[in-house]
Structure 1
Amino acid sequence: MPLSKAGLNMSSNLSQNKKTVLSTQGYRGTRDFFPNDQRLQNYVYSKIHKLMHSFGYEEYNGPIVEHLELYAAKSSEEIVREQLYSFKDKGDRTLAIRPEMTPTLARMVASKQKELLKPIRWYSIPTCMRFERPQRGRLREFDQLNVDIFGGNSLDEDIEIILSAVDVLKCVGAKYEDFEVKINHRGIINSFLSNIMNVPEGNISSLLRLLDKKDKLSSDEFSVECKKLNLTQDQTNNLDQFLNSSIEEIISLLGDYAAPAKELKNRIDSLIELTSEKVIKFSPEIMRGFDYYTGMVFEVFDKHPDNQRALFGGGRYDNLIAAFGGDDLAGVGYGMGDVAIINFMEVHGYLPELKKETDVCVIRFSESDRISALKLSKELRALGLNTESPVTLSKFGKQIQNAEKVGAKAVAFRGNDEMVNNTFCVKWLLTGEQEIYNYEKEGFDLFYKKLKMN
């Protein structure tokens, strides 16, 4: 793509000022992944990929840029108004960098709805961007695990999606006492507001958004916001009491309107039996800010005193696919940011000690043995061994030290004697022992077996 006029001017200015020093600092809220960082991310993602496949989920992906109206229609008001990165392309189309994956997922499923085998079990780990204040557990650029299931029985889907959410944390080392899954149902609060408190329908969406951020407000601030929505003090008090009720109390309170609460109790009872009552909790204050949620909603909370916060969450969205002109197709899912799970592992002591995965280093003695060293490296790689070849000449001892630093188990080389006798020599770094192997298939196989045993 050709540079714009502004881009050409900037390029010209830089070329004219040879002393210009570019900053090494990246854009605020983004990250550089140095090899150690990437190694940890790969470790976590490999655990997640294995877990998702064990549940039968298939990986998918989508574009990082979508038409703005997709998010305007299907993302939360906070994301669209305050956090969206939007711009116009050269065709004067208004686009946005994806802040979340669910609208793209719904668009993709709707586009091939009749062709897809049901139930649809999909997951993805896309990169997203939101313009918000960077803080612990929250950045502007982040990866987000998205797990969704469509086209099955809602009870079974809801149970499965939360079981997979629990297992995501367990697969990186978590125990049941480390976290809680707080569960609610949008129908419960809707029934209470409409049928018990008689809140006008036009105020319910605004009140739900207020309840979603209630934990960030003081009691007085919450009361003031309730007054703005025309709630009396008695109604505010009743709402507070409701938010501190058990599922059994709410079923009794809602009476003829208790169907959503009864549905949720069935899910909670099943999940407790399948996991632990330490983990599964009913929490009527859980709302989730996205407008597309229609049924069960949940959030997973870290219980560690140094990280007591919501890690991730999700819920049921029964009307999302039909919005694209397709047939009704109910779904449920969740999104989990990579920053949150890394912080969770860190505070609980679950971060592994990861090293560069080098099996063997080949060493050289002079300019004349370059080709023989490279041939030996090729043979070792053909065995499936991670093999580093030398790209600089240094003393034998220095090459041994470098091999130890990268975590190699052995060094291998061919000196004059090994070339004459058609062998190669191996020095085992842990013991210092040296061994000679035939430069034939039998010798390489023996070396491979011993290395894998160490």
Structure 2
Amino acid sequence: MVNDNQKIKKTNLSTQGYRGTRDFYPEDQRLKNYVYTKIHTVLKSFGYEEYNGPIVEHLELYAAKSSEEIVREQLYSFKDKGDRVLAIRPEMTPTLARMVAAKQRELPRPIRWYSIPTCMRFERPQRGRLREFDQLNVDIFGGNPLDEDIEIILTAIEVLKSVGATLEQFEVKVNHRGIINSFLSLNIKAPKELIPQILRLLDKKEKMSSEAFQTECKKIELNEKQINQLEKFIHSSIEDIIIILGENGNDAIELKKRIDILNELTQSNCVKFSPEIMRGFDYYTGMVFEVFDKHPENNRSLFGGGRYDNLVGAFGTEELPGIGYGMGDVAILNFMESNNLTPKLKKETDVCVIRFSENDRLEALKITSNLRSLGIKVEAPVVVSKFGKQIQSAEKSGAKAVVFRGNEELQNNLFAVKWLATAEQETFPNKADGYLNFFEKLKNS
């Protein structure tokens, strides 16, 4: 028991958030809103609809639908008060599959959906990766695979272009799981049980030296001939692959068709065949792709996705082929920063109302109300200070003008406007016509 003479030491709470999470101060949220508005505009222009889902799901959903790495190493899981094992959402695709399966027969085809959910994964925070992040998910189900594959990559390209990127600043690397599966089974003759290990190894190939790659290949008991064939395959063009696979090259022929159409549409060569692109998730079955920043200071994969023909059927419903991708907000913000695309965004205030004393509170609030009724973004005064200081505050807020009623304006039933860009001042009648005239001039300023 603490007696009255004992001093209880006060412990101050830390101002640091949980490692790998972020605080969004107004200027940060401003940029986030700017990017998301661009994304919404692009995807709605393609006919995609926004959806959302719960931030927690039953653990078994992720155990069945996410990669082994996510489930084993990165999942935040817990038991609720009913002793149910749940997990915080590490990605959106399993939830998407569950939702589509639940109403599969009711949903009109094709299903074009997108979402920007907050996700969490327990991993080491680094550039481009945090524990808490928002991730754009774009998916399409129930259409022709060729048309879906082309469209999904076009949406990714247009999202990057919407934040100011040019086609020279990034590239889309594509591959097909059917190509590598055919090559491993028929050309290398790798045992079926080794194929998942080889796929995981190829997924990491870009971050490894040739010597390290060969060492890892030997660990899974590939011989010299197989390793040489694998390395030759990795450096082959799509045309080479078609020849190598011969009569088993239909997937390569189909992939080349997609590359040719996309490059014709974009009038560029931003879409390229890359045999080393595997994507880590087990549910990809067809075309896979990753988008890379070409800037030397951020030369890395930004995001990716692929075709998953067997995702929905696991819920006991009929198969519904689809394709999609996920793009983290951290990755796109880093891309914008490295390519000098981050805009300087000001607070979205149109007008600031100024007061001169404690006696003009009601008049200032009336002006504020009249201006807001026209859809003008107005900051009302909550502190009375010197005129010059209020002008400085209005300039910092990004306002185009300040509005006030001094003694002369009150006597003549007017309101005054000072335009901050030019320092010009004018008056308008303090009635409906006057406010409408000011509104029109503000819109054109």
* Partners of 1:270 and 1:284 in 2: CA distance: 19
Among candidates 69, 83, 107, match of residue 60 of structure 2: 69
Residue 198 of structure 2 is aligned to residue 207 of structure 1: yes
Letter in 1 for 2:318: D
Is the Cα–Cα contact under 8 Å of residues 121 and 148 in structure 1 kept in the other structure? yes
Cα 1:450–1:83 shift into 2, 3 Å: same
Residue 182 of structure 2 is aligned to residue 180 of structure 1: no
Among candidates 127, 139, 146, match of residue 130 of structure 2: 139
* Partners of 2:33 and 2:422 in 1: CA distance: 31
Residue 277 of structure 2 is aligned to residue 286 of structure 1: yes
Letter in 2 for 1:193: L
Name the structure 2 match of 1:384.
375
Equivalent pairs, count: 439
Residue 89 of structure 2 is aligned to residue 102 of structure 1: no
Name the structure 2 match of 1:11.
none
Among candidates 73, 77, 80, match of residue 71 of structure 2: 80
Question: Matches of residues 257-268 of structure 1 in structure 2 within 5 Å?
Answer: 257-268=248-259
Is the Cα–Cα contact under 8 Å of residues 137 and 339 in structure 1 kept in the other structure? yes
Among candidates 374, 394, 400, match of residue 403 of structure 1: 394
Give unmatched runs, 5+ long, in structure 2: 1-6
C-alpha displacement of 1:17: 5.0
* Partners of 1:440 and 1:59 in 2: CA distance: 43
* Partners of 2:360 and 2:9 in 1: CA distance: 43
What is the root-mean-square deviation of aligned Cα atoms in Å?
Answer: 1.2
C-alpha displacement of 1:18: 6.2
Runs of 4+ in 1 over 3 A off after TM superposition: none
* Partners of 2:335 and 2:177 in 1: CA distance: 28
C-alpha displacement of 1:173: 0.8
* Partners of 2:66 and 2:250 in 1: CA distance: 27
C-alpha displacement of 1:163: 0.8
Among candidates 413, 430, 434, match of residue 439 of structure 1: 430
Cα deviation, 1:127-159, whole Å, max 9, x if unaligned, reads 111111111111111111100000000000000
Letter in 2 for 1:251: I
Cα deviation, 1:194-240, whole Å, max 9, x if unaligned, reads 11111111111121111111222232322232223221121111111
Residue 366 of structure 2 is aligned to residue 345 of structure 1: no
Name the structure 1 match of 2:262.
271
C-alpha displacement of 1:77: 1.3
Counterpart of 1:177 in 2: which secondary structure? coil
* Partners of 2:393 and 2:187 in 1: CA distance: 72
Name the structure 1 match of 2:350.
359
Name the structure 2 match of 1:253.
244
Cα 1:324–1:360 shift into 2, 3 Å: same
Q: TM-score, normalized by length of structure 1? A: 0.95
Is the Cα–Cα contact under 8 Å of residues 312 and 337 in structure 1 kept in the other structure? yes
Name the structure 2 match of 1:157.
148
* Partners of 2:193 and 2:329 in 1: CA distance: 37
Name the structure 1 match of 2:43.
52
* Partners of 2:133 and 2:319 in 1: CA distance: 31
Name the structure 1 match of 2:187.
196
Question: Matches of residues 363-374 of structure 1 in structure 2 within 5 Å?
Answer: 363-374=354-365
Among candidates 289, 292, 298, match of residue 289 of structure 2: 298
* Partners of 1:271 and 1:38 in 2: CA distance: 34
Is the Cα–Cα contact under 8 Å of residues 167 and 268 in structure 2 kept in the other structure? no
Q: TM-score, normalized by length of structure 2? A: 0.97
Q: Percent identity?
A: 72
* Partners of 1:311 and 1:450 in 2: CA distance: 44
Is the Cα–Cα contact under 8 Å of residues 176 and 276 in structure 1 kept in the other structure? no
Question: Matches of residues 8-27 of structure 1 in structure 2 within 5 Å?
Answer: 19-27=10-18
Name the structure 2 match of 1:10.
none
Cα deviation, 1:309-357, whole Å, max 9, x if unaligned, reads 0011000000000011111100001010111111111111111111011
Cα deviation, 1:41-72, whole Å, max 9, x if unaligned, reads 11111011000000000000111111111111
* Partners of 2:162 and 2:419 in 1: CA distance: 34
* Partners of 2:154 and 2:412 in 1: CA distance: 60
Residue 213 of structure 2 is aligned to residue 222 of structure 1: yes
Name the structure 2 match of 1:118.
109
* Partners of 1:77 and 1:210 in 2: CA distance: 14
Is the Cα–Cα contact under 8 Å of residues 346 and 397 in structure 2 kept in the other structure? yes
Counterpart of 2:23 in 1: which secondary structure? coil
Cα 1:108–1:220 shift into 2, 3 Å: same
Counterpart of 1:145 in 2: which secondary structure? strand
Larger CA deviation: 85-94 vs 281-290: 85-94
* Partners of 2:165 and 2:127 in 1: CA distance: 20
Is the Cα–Cα contact under 8 Å of residues 76 and 121 in structure 2 kept in the other structure? yes
Letter in 1 for 2:288: V
Counterpart of 2:296 in 1: which secondary structure? coil
* Partners of 2:8 and 2:326 in 1: CA distance: 46
Is the Cα–Cα contact under 8 Å of residues 75 and 87 in structure 2 kept in the other structure? yes
* Partners of 2:220 and 2:62 in 1: CA distance: 26
Name the structure 2 match of 1:233.
224
Is the Cα–Cα contact under 8 Å of residues 64 and 97 in structure 1 kept in the other structure? yes
Cα deviation, 1:233-275, whole Å, max 9, x if unaligned, reads 2111111111111111111111121111111111111111111
Counterpart of 2:426 in 1: which secondary structure? strand
Counterpart of 1:206 in 2: which secondary structure? helix
Counterpart of 1:357 in 2: which secondary structure? coil
Is the Cα–Cα contact under 8 Å of residues 425 and 437 in structure 1 kept in the other structure? yes
Counterpart of 1:272 in 2: which secondary structure? helix
Counterpart of 1:152 in 2: which secondary structure? coil
